[in-house]
Each structure stands twice: as C-alpha cells, then as structure tokens.
A and B are shown apart, each in its own frame.
Chain A
Amino acid sequence: MDKRRINGPEISVKPIEKKSTQPKNNKDDGIRKNNRSVDNIRPIFIKPNVIKKANGSAYYEAENIKIICGVYGPRSSKRSMVSDEGTIYCEFKFAPFSCNKRCGYIRNAQEREYSLIIQQAFLPAIRLNLYPKSSIDIYVTVLENDGTTACLAAAITCISIALTDAGIQMYDLVAAASATCIKGNICLDPDASEENDTNSKFMLSYMPSLKQVTHVLCTGKMEAEQSIEAIGICIDACNSIKTVMDHCLINSH
C-alpha cells in the first residue's frame, strides 16, 4: 500500500455513467439544439449561507451548472499594499472533475483571467471606502461546468449573493448573463455543446437597480451590430436574474 498517497476505500462501486442527452428540438425556430428558445435562460436555484466557516457563501445551480462560492472578510490585508480603500481578491477555480477534460489543481491561465474579470466586475459595486486597509476574499469553485462563459456569468451572480450574505455593503447587486451567436441569432445562456459549435462568446455583468454595466466580455467572431444587440438582450436577462436573486435573499433573510 502506498502510504504517501490518499488511498481510496477497498470496496468500490462503478460510477454512474452520464447518459448522453439526445438533442431534442421541439421548438419551431430550430436555432438551438436544446429545448430552449433564443432568449431563454436555464432556471436558476440559489441558496445562501451554505459554508459555516465563511463570512458569507452561496450555492448556485442552473441545470448542469453547479457553483459554490465563499466570501471571507473584511479581514486584515496580507498583501503589502497601502490603500485607503478596501481591496477585492478573487480565486476562480474549476474543480478537477467539473469539466469534460480533467483540469489540474493549479489555476491555469483561463482561471486567472476569470478571477481578474470577477474582480473588475465587483469593483464598482462594493462600497470599498468603508473598508480601509482590509481585503475581501472571494473563493469560487465550479463543481460542474456546462458552458464556460455561462459559468463565469453564474459565478458573478453567485458571488453577489455570497457578498450580501456576508453583510458587505454594496451599491447594488451584480447580475451577469452570457450569450453567443448561432447562425446570426443571439442565444442567451449557451451550454457546452452550443459553445463548441460557435466561437463567439459574450458576457455582461450589470447592476439592475442602478442601471449600470460593470463589465463586458466579448471574444471571437461577432459583428458590431450583433454585440450591441447582445448588450440589450443580456441587460434584459440580468433584470430577470435580479428578481430571482431578490426572491432568494428576502426568503432567506
């Protein structure tokens, strides 16, 4: 027996294999493979206060996307930076088992980039002037990935709930929505198979009450008119996500 490693139990069972879901297409528009219309987002479930040790936490689920997030702070900043305002630190990680291809324990370039995007998306929303010399640390783990851009958008929505749960003062909640372009149509909340078919990704984070955009991410092939259209569609989606978030926060209060 190898004592240097964590050994599995002696008795093991065969893991349940994931059945490949047959693409259904009952919708008459015929643009999307799955059973959704272009402006339809997956139903969202959010639960705050799931990690006892964290100041604030939230769990997010939308069909196959599963994300857990913990917020620690405001706590004394360990980094050697003098600032009159608080700082945000974020660690975004895909769990090794979350994607189709196993990803490593060490954060890769994409995860680092997403961490920065999350920091940028929350900078205008948190009242950092109230937290001098402190840092707010956000740790996000994607437990199941079904569309990378959709995961990033879901993470931002999830963090909003966790920050509010931690009692951190914010100007507004931040909601985020993702989109892609399929055959010239803007489709909201793309899943993994749709993401593989196209090479355009769009993500927008938005403060619904203040009507302000905090971050826009647009990569791949997309016409200027399409991206403008996508902004409008994503803002509408964020407004509907906001009602889910409000509902969740008021119920759990």
Chain B
Amino acid sequence: MSATTVTPGKKLGSIQEYEVGPGTYMRNNYIYSSTVGDIYIIKDVNKKLPCISVVKDKEQSAIPEVDSIVTGKIIRVNPKMATLAIMVVGNKPCKDDFQGIIRVQDVRSTEKDKVQIYRSFRPGDIVRARVISLGDRHSYYLTTAENELGVIFAQSISGETMIPISWQQMICPKTKVMEYRKCAKPN
C-alpha cells in the first residue's frame, strides 16, 4: 500500500503487473488513472495479480446500475405500477433523486396475477428494491420479488410506524388497524 497522489491520465503500470480496479482504466496494455486520488495496491490471494485502484476522498454521488439494491420512497401508485424516488444506491446516498418504477408483475415472485399495487405499497413508504433494467427514458425498472426486498418502513393513517406481522400485513401499534403491504424480511 502506498499513498502517492495521481491525476487523471497518469500511467500507473502495465496490465502484466496489475489488475484494473476502480478509478483506473486500461488502454493499449497500460493502466492509467481516471480520477485524482491516492494509489492503493491490494493483493488478492485468489488472483494472480494485485489490484490497483485510485481512491478519491470526496465520494461522488452514486448512480443506480442493473442488479444494485436501491432504497427509496414511494411517490405515487396506480393499478399498474408504483413510482419510487431512488434516494440511496447500495450504501451511498444519491445527491439527486432518480425515478424508478415497480410494475405489478415485479412486486413478488409467486401468485403474480393476484398482486394488487394498493395492497402492496402506499405513497410515503420506504422500499428496498433491486434494479432489473435501466428501463425507459424516465425511470429505472425495479423489482421487489425477493424475501429481503419490499417495504421496510411505513406509517399508518394515524401516523404511527407500523410493525410487520406477516409477509403481507403490517399493524399499527396505536390503533391496531392492519394494513396490507409487501413487507421485506427484517434483517
């Protein structure tokens, strides 16, 4: 491990010496830096070559990619889909919200034909979902068809935080009213 600061376009070594890591790129058998930061060389026992990466102190805001887990807030629902404002990608917060949609067939993996959007999500719910495709020009397509995915935080009509009691139901601790949600498995 070393702490030499490099700028974009700096030649770091050849591909025979290192593996391409984050913040670097390969061009004509050489590895170059693509951001400003310190060089880190990490040795991996499973791989032949050590991985070289350039890390910047100031994190740039995250953007969703296919297969990444995102967290966001439901902003509107209709019978065909729920619209989500993506606020966090993985563990990194986004500076600007991205829009994603959960279509009715992507809510859960079983009994897809019986899914009703308004019995799965309500506006204001915080949902964890997985990106399935970059989607159309407006939004990413998301899915919650996994045990760990779904509503992780929801409030009842009286404004209390609800507690999940089954895969499909949440209860309000104050009024004991049950509401339907596609609950995520708590971890």
Contacts and interface: CB of A to CB of B under 8 A. Distances in A.
Partners in one complex: yes
Interface of A: 55, 72-76, 80-82, 84, 127, 131-134, 164-173, 207-210, 245-246, 249-250, 253
Interface of A is mostly: loop
A167 B32 contact: no
A249 B7 contact: yes
Contact of B8 (A80, A132, A134, A170): A170
B150 to A, nearest CB: 24
Contacts of A127: 25, 34
Interface in B71-121: 95-99
Given A76-B97, A82-B136, A168-B60, A208 B35 contact: no
A76 B137 contact: no
Contact of B134 (A72, A133, A173, A245): A133
B61 interface: yes
A127 B20 CA distance: 15
B25 to A, nearest CB: 7
B5 A55 contact: no
Contacts of B99: 76
27 contacts: A72-B96, A74-B61, A74-B63, A75-B95, A75-B96, A76-B98, A76-B99, A80-B137, A132-B65, A132-B134, A133-B63, A133-B134, A164-B7, A164-B8, A167-B35, A167-B58, A167-B60, A170-B35, A171-B34, A173-B9, A209-B10, A209-B11, A249-B7, A249-B36, A250-B5, A253-B37, A253-B57
B44 interface: no
Give the interface size bracket for B toward A. Answer: 20 to 34
Interface of B: 5, 7-11, 23, 25, 27, 32, 34-38, 56-61, 63, 65, 95-99, 134, 136-137, 140
